Amino acid sequence: MDNSSPTPQKEHPLARLILSAATLIALVVMVVSLTVKGTRNEMTLGSSNDHISIEATDVKAVRDIGQWEFLAISDEEMVDTTESRLLGSDKQLTRIYYGTVRMGIDLSQMSEGAIRMREDTLDVTLPPIIILDKEFIDEARTKSFHESGSWDQQSRSDLYERAREKMIARCMTESNIHTAQAYAVDEIRQVFLSMGYPYVDVHF
């Protein structure tokens, strides 16, 4: 009867190397997986919390901008009026008015819900293009081209209002409104992009 103990087999160096490499790879994969998982959770929570806390502040900041000019058009209009007199020749008043019509939007007039999230996109609806300064005629530059007879203040005010209406009709054209809208969309979009919103849709 052979009572000798079995002779232990010698471990091959290559097998030990393969086993060590496999163990190291498994550990690296586990660490990377945990790191990515933790990073994703942190980013998701941070993004959500930031958006909830700053949205109201962003809306207020934009509304506080108030009036914003996007297009200015200089214009001049000649307006005249004539009155017949019972005795003598008719009297006439012709004046040249100069003005700058400034077109833009009043962000303080943005309606409720004008700024809202639509999935991952910030949706912004702008108020309409308006004339920002109603008194855009420069009276200091107004010239009397021709004046005969005497004219009261009411007649001069009526002439002023006619010139104002002519300037509005000449400047507030569909083409000019579209130009101002294009500038507004681009500028307001840049404002929200600078606030950290990655996707912004601005429209009227």
Model confidence pLDDT, tens digit, residues 42-88: 322 233 444 433 468 888 999 999 999 999 999 999 999 988 776 76
Q: What is the pLDDT of residue 6?
A: 43
Rounded CA-CA distance 188/192 in Å is 7
Task: Judge whether residue 202 has pLDDT over 60.
Answer: yes
Only one residue has tokens 């309409």, namely: 128
Task: Judge whether residue 189 has pLDDT over 90.
Answer: yes
User: What average pLDDT score do residues 154-180 get?
Assistant: 96
pLDDT over 70 percentage in the chain: 72
Model confidence pLDDT, tens digit, residues 94-140: 999 999 999 999 999 998 889 999 888 999 999 999 999 999 999 99
Smallest Cα–Cα separation from 59: which of 105, 111, 119? 111
Task: Judge whether residue 13 has pLDDT over 80.
Answer: no
- pTM score: 0.67
Q: At 109, which helix (H) or strand (E)?
A: none
DSSP state of 4: P
Confidence of residue 2 (pLDDT cuts 50, 70, 90): very low
